[in-house]
Amino acid sequence: MTRRLLAALLVLAAGTACAPAGQGASGGQDGQAGGRVTLRVGDQKAGSQALLKAAGLLDGTSYAITWSQFTSGPPLLEAVNAGAVDIGGVGNTPPVFAAASGSKIKVVSAYRQSAKGSAILVPEGSPITSPAQLKGKKVAVAKGSSAHYHLLAVLKKQGLSFTDIQAQYLQPADALAAFSSGTVDAWAIWDPFTSQAEIQHRARPVVDGSGIVNGLGFQVAAPAALDDAGKRAAVGDFLTRLAKARIWAAAHLNEWAKVWAQETGLPGEVADAAVANAVATPVVIDDSVVSSEQEIADAFTAEGLIPGTVTFSQFVDDRFNDVVRKAQQ
């Protein structure tokens, strides 16, 4: 087992909590808890659990849910591949890296949001004012994350390659510490960390993701979970609730921001800014989504940042596309 996988599983073990109320962790085989299915969900900061709670859609499931918090998408998908998590939410790039490593994953739902929350930040007073000036600089980024592709795409647009910078592969908490201490020159990151850095640390964006990244996010499941009839039904219900919650959040930003602040412990002004950037629309996984993700995979292959080539369509399961329609009813 790799060191990264061990770390992911340690995070999972430390972060698992039961929700909704009265629906405990799995105590039996094949995802059964006292005869009832348990869906093990991987989550990130201000993610699905907070959103469902804010929308009032967390309770009343016929199955139990256990939640595990992860620092970013790549370790979450390592847990999915290891069979420790059934499903989890990630950005547009982690599935590409997971696919390139041969992980057992299936992308089962998608949403699209503004790319403004994705940003390459520099400290207040930095002489860097344009993306071209990142050449030769130390840039913090979580490897295999959506920020990783954003950074790659920005460099490519400037006629630079990834080898033209000194990439510092750091998870968000470590990157924030390095950024605030001046150990790195810039930080490629996503919300809510973008808003947190801008408001609490006076970071300045050099460029955001508008017109550069596709703004896609996904729920990614373990094939073994989809092969289990009980868990497959739970996945369908969970995805429908999540799509409904996204539609609710878009129309109730203030309510969503208040719950978000309570769940994360961050100030209301950070929550307000992050939520405004995170309005998401559920979308079906169609050819346009697959081709957009294929472009990301091809870009990483061309740069030599992933092994071999990835055919993204092979890691997609579109049987749950109808959750978009159900969420709109």
CA 35/CA 26 separation, integer angstroms: 10
Q: Where does the pLDDT of residue 153 fall: very low under 50, low under 70, confident under 90, or very high at 90 and above? A: very high
Bridge partners for 38 per DSSP: 64
- The 10s digit of each residue's pLDDT in 67-109 is 999 999 999 999 999 999 999 999 999 999 999 999 999 999 9
Q: Closest Cα partner for 219 from 81, 90, 55, 73?
A: 90
CA 301/CA 145 separation, integer angstroms: 15
Burial of residue 267 (CB within 10 Å: 0-12, 13-18, 19+) is middle
**Taking residues 239-265, what's their average pLDDT?**
92
Q: State the residue for tokens 């390139």.
A: 100
Distance of CA 82 to the CA centre of its chain: 18
Q: Closest Cα partner for 8 from 98, 82, 75, 69?
A: 75
Q: Where does the pLDDT of residue 277 fall: very low under 50, low under 70, confident under 90, or very high at 90 and above? A: confident
Regarding pTM above 0.85, the answer is yes
Please report the pLDDT score of residue 16 as a whole number.
43
Bridge pairing between strands 36-43 and 32-33: antiparallel
Per residue, what are the HEC states of the chain? CCHHHHHHHHHHHHHCEECCCCCCCCCCCCCEECCEEEEEEEECCCCHHHHHHHHCCCCCCCCEEEEEECCCHHHHHHHHHCCCCCEEEECCCHHHHHHHCCCCCEEEEEEEECCCCCEEEECCCCCCCCHHHHCCCEEEECCCCHHHHHHHHHHHHCCCCHHHCEEEECCHHHHHHHHHHCCCCEEEECCCHHHHHHHHCCCEEEEECCCCCCCEEEEEECHHHHHCHHHHHHHHHHHHHHHHHHHHHHHCHHHHHHHHHHHHCCCHHHHHHHHHHCCEEEECCCHHHHHHHHHHHHHHHHCCCCCCCCCHHHHECCCCCHHHHHHCC
Is the pLDDT reported for residue 7 higher than 50? Answer: no
Please report the pLDDT score of residue 266 as a whole number.
86
- The 10s digit of each residue's pLDDT in 37-72 is 999 999 998 899 999 999 999 999 999 999 999 999
**Taking residues 175-190, what's their average pLDDT?**
97
Q: Closest Cα partner for 261 from 172, 170, 199?
A: 199
Please report the pLDDT score of residue 265 as a whole number.
87
Pair 138, 183: CB distance under 8 Å: yes
